[in-house]
Each structure stands twice: as structure tokens, then as C-alpha cells.
Amino acid sequence: MYYCIREGRGYGDKAPMKMANKIVISCFLVGVSGCINPEAFRPSPPYYESWGKMGATELDVKKALLECGDTHPAGGPKESLNEVALVYYCMVGYGYTPRGFKGRIEDSTSLCRIHADLPICQPDALVPKPSIELRLNSRYCRQYLNYNDCLSYLSSSSVGVHVCSRRSYRAPPLECLP
């Protein structure tokens, strides 16, 4: 080991380097901790919370979504993007406004500006009207009103019998009542 004559210590001393590493790591951790937003790790809200109308309750929004042909008021798999657009423009026609992040009102024409080739976005397209029959006969409501329908929808899963046997078919969700 070589010694520095002026300072009286060896070049192999790593104490200043360790201190510099600790300072850099500390600054990095403090900086990163300020960037973490606790809302970033929250799950997405249910789909019905992304719609609003003056004077409409949560139940009204759920009913409207089912009347417009949505598969589930909390959101669920859709067959195609056109099916999503059909429900979207039915809701807009029904007087509901789409809500974005933190309740920000979104532009109701943005879907067709982005996807102009969709059948619903063509000039002669018919926007569906809400239908109470569509809501009451929806897959969502039928599986809560009838044990056999529940089994047929959940037969692909191994827990279908267990889930269906625990449901109360005398007290379906309020959005499934006439």
C-alpha cells in the first residue's frame, strides 16, 4: 500500500467513497419517495362510477348501463370495440356524461374520432335506445334470478356450483328488479 505523504493515509482507504455512496443512495431514495403516488396502486373504480348525470343515483347509472346492453354494470369483457361504442353512445344519448380521471368530464365524441372505422361511427348508424327488457333479460340479471342460469354462466369455472348455491335468488340486485 502506498502512503500519501501529505495526508498520512493510504490510497487504498475507501472511507470517503463509502460516504459518497451513502449520500448518493440517500438522495435517490428521498427523491423517489416523493414521486410515489398512493393512488397509483389503487384498483380501477367500477365502470358505473365513470358515468354521471345530474340527479342520477348510482342505481340509476347501473340500470342505464344494463338497459344500453352492457354485460355488467361494474364493467366486464366485451365482444368487440364496436360493442363498447354501442353502450357508450347509448349512454350519451340517454343523457349521461362520461367521467374521466378524478371526475373530469370527457369529450363524448372522442371514441369516434379515434376509431372512425367502427360501424357505430358511420353517418347512417343507429344508436341503440335504452330498453328495460334488455336489462331484465341481461346475462347479469338472469344469473342472479335463476339458479340454472347461474350454473350455465359459471359452468366453466370449478367454483360455479359453490357460488350459485350461496346466492339468494329471492333478493337479486336492485338494478335487476322491474
Check: CB of residue 112 under 8 Å from CB of residue 40. Answer: no
| pLDDT tens profile 85-132 | 899 999 999 999 888 765 566 676 778 888 889 998 888 889 889 999
pLDDT of residue 162: 72
> What DSSP letter does each residue of 38-104 carry, written as one string?
GGGGSPPPPGGGGEE-TT--HHHHHHHHHHTT-S-TT----S-HHHHHHHHHHHHHTT-EEB-GGGP
Cell numbers 343507429: residue: 126
pLDDT of residue 157: 61
pLDDT of residue 164: 79
Cell of 43: 384498483
3-state class percentages of the chain: helix first, strand second, coil last, to nearest 5 = 50, 5, 45
Check: CB of residue 134 under 8 Å from CB of residue 66. Answer: yes
What's this model's pTM, rounded to 2 decimal places?
0.70
- For residue 167, give the DSSP letter: S
Q: Which residues of the chain have pLDDT under 50?
A: 1
Burial of 136 (0-12, 13-18, 19+ CB in 10 A): middle
Determine the number of helices (DSSP H) and then strands (DSSP E) in the chain: 8, 2
